[in-house]
Structure formats: C-alpha cells, structure tokens
Amino acid sequence: MTTSPDAAALTLDRLVRRFASHTAVDEVSLSVTPGELVVLLGPSGCGKTTTLRLIAGFIAPDAGDIRLDGQSIVALPPHKRDMGIVFQSYALFPHLSVARNIAFGLEMRHTTAAATQARVDEMLRLVRLEAFATRLPRQLSGGQQQRVALARALAIHPRALLLDEPLSNLDAALRQDMAREIRLLQQARGITTIMVTHDQTEAMALADRLVLMHDGKVQQIGPPEALHLHPANPFVARFIGGANIVPGRIDTATHLLLPDGAPISLAAAYPGTGAATLAVRPDSIRLGEPGRAGARAAGTVELCTWLGATVEHVVRLTPETTLLARGPGLGPDAAPRHKAGTPVTLHWSAEDEFLFDASGRPIAAATTDFTRSRETNDA
Amino acid sequence: MSDTLARVEHAAVSLLVSLGVALIGVPLLLTLYLSVFDEKLILFPPHAYTLDWYPAIGATFGDPIWTSLQLGAAAVIGSLTLGIPAGIGLSRHRFRGRGLVSTLLLAPITVPGIALGLAIYIMLVAIDETAGTALTGSLTGLVLAHILITTPWVVRLCLASLATHDRTAEEAAASLGAHPLKVIWRVTLPAMRPGIIAGALFAFVISFENLELALFLTSPGVTTLPVAVLQYLEYHIDPLVAAVAVAQTLGIAVLLLLLDRFVRLGRIVR
C-alpha cells in the first residue's frame, strides 16, 4: 500500500458529545495511522455518524480532542479542516455540472484555472467519468453520482477522507462493485479514511480495522477477523456473526445452568462460578440425533428454513431458550434437515464457544477439554 | 355505473373550469372592448372605435406610472434585502422567539390594507413631529410602507424554496473549504433562485397595484398610478381608464410570461 503525502494520522481522544440528556458519543478514543481505512460499525443510533460529524467539524464535542498529525483541530471550523467527505445522499451541488462540482474545492482554495482544470481532468479519469464532465448531477445514475462525490472529495488532496454510509443508497449489485472501487482507490492513493456503516459485510470487506460501537461507546477495535475470533463482549459476538446469546450461571467448571435450571454442557472448562453469558454463532452449531455422544444440549426443532445456500433450524431448549443453528444447505456437506417437533442434540467445539462474566468481559477457558472437543468434531 | 359517474364528474369539472375562465375572462374582455370606444362618455353601442385612448395614457398618467415603477423597484429591492436573509435564518435555526419573528414577518398580510395605511400615516406624522423629518407624503415613506407589505411574500416564497433544499450540500461546500458566507452565495442562494424570482415578482405586482396604503401616503407631488386612476374617475367616465387597465394587465402578463420562462429555463439548466 502506498501512503499519500497528504495522508495524516488521525487521533480521537476521549470524545464526548451529548444531545440534551442523551450521550451520543461517550469517551470515544481511536488512533488511525496514515493510509489506514477504519470502519465505524454499529446499529443505528450507536453514535458512529455523530463521531464522523465531530471529525468533520459540523458539530463540536462537549469534551475530548481531535488531532491530525498530532495537532488539535477541534477548534477549527469545517472549512479549515481539509477533510474530504462523501455523504450518504452524495450532496452534490444540483446547479453545477460534474466538472464544476469537482472543481468547487479547488476554487475555494484559489487554485489557478489551469491547475484546477488539470486536477478535474485527473479526477474524472480516476472515477472514469470523462464523458460526463458537462452533465448535471440529476442526469447521472446513483453510482455515477457517488463517483462524482468521491472525486470531489479527493480533488482537494484531503488529509483524511470521511465516508458516511457511502453505499447505502445503491442497489445490491452496484454496492459490491462500488465497495471494491472505493477500497482500490483508497489503497492506490493511500488516504487515511474513516467510513461509517451499519452493514457488517460492507465493513468486513473494506476495513483494515473495525471500530464496533454501541450506545455511544466503543465496544471493540481491531481487524475484522479479531472481532470475529475474539469478541470482547456479548454485544460484539451478537453483532459480528449474529451469535446466540444465552444468559445463565456457571455451576461447575463445565456446566452453564439456564435460568429455569436446564444445563448446557460447555466445550471447555472455566474458572469460578456465578452469572455468565454464553455466545455461540449459528454457523458453529451442528445438530445430531438424540443419544449422540458429546452433546452440549438437547432440544426440539421448532422451525426449519431452507435458504438455498444454507439451512436454518430454530431449536427450543427450554420454554424460555431457543438457539439458531445454521448449516450448508447444498452439496455433499449439506446439513440434514429436521422437521418441526424432531428431538435433536446440539454440538459445538471449544473454539466456537464464548463465555462472558456478569459485567460482559470474556472468561478465558481454564483448560480446553480436548476430549470433548474431539468428540464434537467427530459427531 | 361507475362509467356514468365518471362522465358526470368529467362534465362537472369542465363546467366549473369554464365558469372559472368566464369569471376571469369576461371582465378582461369587457375592459378591452371598452378601451377602444370612440366616445367621450361610455355609451353602448359606441358609434365608432378608436385606438387613440392608448397614446393618451402618457399625457395624463405618465408621472404616476413613473412613480409607481420607481416605488415598485424600491419595494422589490427592499423586501429582497430583508426577506432573503430572514427566510434563510428562519429555515435554518430553531431559536427562542422564532415563532414571534415569523408571525411578525407574516402579519402585514393579515391586516386590512386600509387599517395599515391609516396606522402608518399616523405613525409617520408622529415621527415627523418629533424628529422634524418630512416622511409624510414623501416617496421614502411610501417605499417603507410598501416594503412592509411586500416582505412577507418574499419570506414566504424563500421559505418554500428552502423546504426541499438538502442542507448536506451546504456541509459539503464547507468541507471543501467554503467560508459560511461563500456557502450561502454558492449553494444556498442558487437553491433559492425560483423562490427569489417569484418573491421579487410578487413584491413588484403587490406594490404596483396597491391602492389602500397609497391613499393615505401620497401627496399632490407624489401620486401612484392606482391613486391617479381613482382621482381621474371622480371627474371623468371615459374609456381612458379602461385603456390604462388593459395596458397594465398586458404589462404584468408579459412580465409574468418572461419570468416564468426564465425560471423554467433555469430549472432545466440547473
């Protein structure tokens, strides 16, 4: 990856922003290295867009600092921050042609006409819209408008690029193309980039590092696979990969008792006892016939849904607890389908099992029970 | 059954439309007809027709027309100067007292013109007495009064043109390095263009046709066209007034058509 000379290191230092009594951004800290693409991910209302608007300078934080290459920019108005921004609605200037839209930031910088023209041509080539220079925004398709917005943001040699849900207004097929295009452009130009999205797949596909947010707080920061392999709390496990979340209490080292007393046999042994939450992803759960060895729990199939590539079973363990299991729906490895009412056993291995204590922190397994694990794999 | 209903509905709509057109058209046509009578008094049927009334307009009403044009232009400039920033401010901010400001800005529309004219007259006299100025009966006083009644329309139309305006375009401009005033000049005002043009047109027409305020605020030296027409009618009943009415209607119609073309063209170019 090349790093652009314009690209800056961006640091958020315990940013806080309140709206009335609601804290939208709560002590958010983050360090982005030059040329890195960081995705702020989370459900709507988690504070990711507010964080982006704080970085852009559209709103001011109640506390905390924002630094570019070590210099605080928190007191600067948006027009002095040198940030390229691509908005969800693109926010192109409707009365200006594509070329004039791209030239806007350069005109504000009093760039000479010749230099502006050269840069506009370069940007048009970059986003492959040379033939559309004189068109007006509303004469373009959504994907083309998106590319103009990107070109306009990049034209000013921004120190950082901010993308606010840039793909959400595109249809599914175009979204993947555009995601790839953004990633290639960003890597080729080596621009420090922060992107906001609620779409997990999009985030996984684009991010060097993910910042998962919830209730204004950072839940976990790391490369996508780290969040997948080592979720920091039940929310992360639930959001990344849609894990089943089962509250209960650890009784002995290898048993989790559900609230109504039914036990789940854990794949690993855990220190201590007390309230705990189990997270297991649907993709990790295999179903077996009653009596099969190494069962983690037993239940009854409540619903079987075949989705083509996958097959999903909702299994009821107790009156209050159901788990979702997902297996391949096609091919030689296809998971067997079970009719509603069929009694089944549930199997998973130690590395797919996440246990969290009462405050949501992960509990490390004391010793992995390899015997049990192997049994499950055999099953 | 529904077919019959649809036919009845269609017939009813056609009837109402024709009635509406007749209601507007007949008086216009009658005025046009009257304006070409070759009679000193309006007699029906006329013994001959003539176009001589039209060239005669200038001699009798030239000065008042000039006054009305100046007044209209001043009212347009004044109400745009006040109304555009007010529209931007009211659409952007939710501040304490916003309701009051917006009511005050729109109130002159709801007050009867005669009452407003009398009130302004009394106020101008009071100001003149205390401050020793000569606003009463001057063109300045009249301009101020006309700005008062035309500004609400400009504010209304500016607000309407901003209702569908996407403010993220302003944020985009700021992020690209535009100073807040540059943002207004380069992004907000272009978005308001149809509203501003319509507002200017309304302001001009309202000012040009206003009689009630001018009745109190004109003096022998400064007379607007509507007042001059009224005074003329007190002593003469001849087709000259009809000719003035036709000329005025045509003038405003041409202005409307031109502006409509301009605004529409603008929409295409945008």
Each domain of chain A, given as residue ranges in start order, spans 10-229, 234-378
What is the chain A residue with the closest CA to B166? A91
User: How many domains does one find in chain B?
Assistant: 1
DSSP class of residue A365 equals P
Interface touch A87/B172, C-beta < 8 Å:
yes
Count how many pairs of residues, chain A against chain B, have C-beta atoms within 8 Å.
Answer: 70
Q: Is residue B147 part of a domain?
A: yes
> B172 CA to chain A: closest CA distance, Å?
7
A156 contacts in B (CB within 8 Å)?
Answer: 176-177
Q: How far is it, in rounded angstroms, from Cα A35 to Cα A160?
A: 9
Say yes or no for a CB contact (<8 Å) between A152 and B176. Answer: yes
| Percent above pLDDT 70 for chain A | 96
Q: CATH assignment of A234-378?
A: 2.40.50.100
- Tell me what the mean pLDDT of segment A96-111 comes to: 95
Task: Kindly report the pTM of this predicted structure.
Answer: 0.80
Cβ-based contacts of A92 with chain B (< 8 Å): 169, 172
- Do the chains contact at A156 and B179, CB–CB below 8 Å? no
| Domain of residue B93, CATH code | 1.10.3720.10
Q: How far apart are CA A114 and CA A104, in angstroms?
A: 14
Mean per-residue pLDDT for A129-137?
A: 94
Cis peptide before B45 (omega within 30 of 0): yes
In this predicted model, what pLDDT tens digit does every residue of A60-103 receive, in sequence order?
999 999 999 999 999 999 999 999 999 999 999 999 999 999 99
State the residue range of the domain holding B124: 61-269
Chain A nearest-CA residue for B270: A95
Is residue B232 within 8 A of residue B62, CB to CB? The reply is: no
Most A-contacting residue of B176, B179, B265 (CB-CB within 10 A), to test interface: B176
- The first and second tokens of residue A49, run together, are 């867009």
Q: What is the pLDDT of residues A346-367, one digit of tens each?
A: 999 998 999 999 888 998 887 6
Q: Tell me what percent of the residues of chain A surpass a pLDDT of 90.
A: 63
The count of other CB atoms within 10 Å of the CB of residue B115 is 10
Kindly state whether residue B78 falls inside one of the protein's structural domains.
Answer: yes
Q: Are B147 and B82 in contact (CB under 8 A)?
A: yes
Q: How far is A57 from chain B (nearest CA, A)?
A: 8
pLDDT tens readout for residues B66-120: 989 999 999 999 999 999 999 999 988 888 888 888 888 778 778 888 888 899 9
Give Cα separations from B18 to A228, B7, B21 (angstroms): 72, 16, 5
Please choose, from the candidates A226, A372, A236, A247, the residue with its C-alpha nearest in 3D space to the C-alpha of residue A318: A247
Interfacial residues of B (vs A; Cβ cutoff 8 Å): 166, 168-169, 171-180, 182, 186-187, 190-191, 193, 269-270
Question: Complex ipTM, two decimals?
Answer: 0.81
Second CATH level (architecture) for the domain A10-229: 3-Layer(aba) Sandwich (3.40)
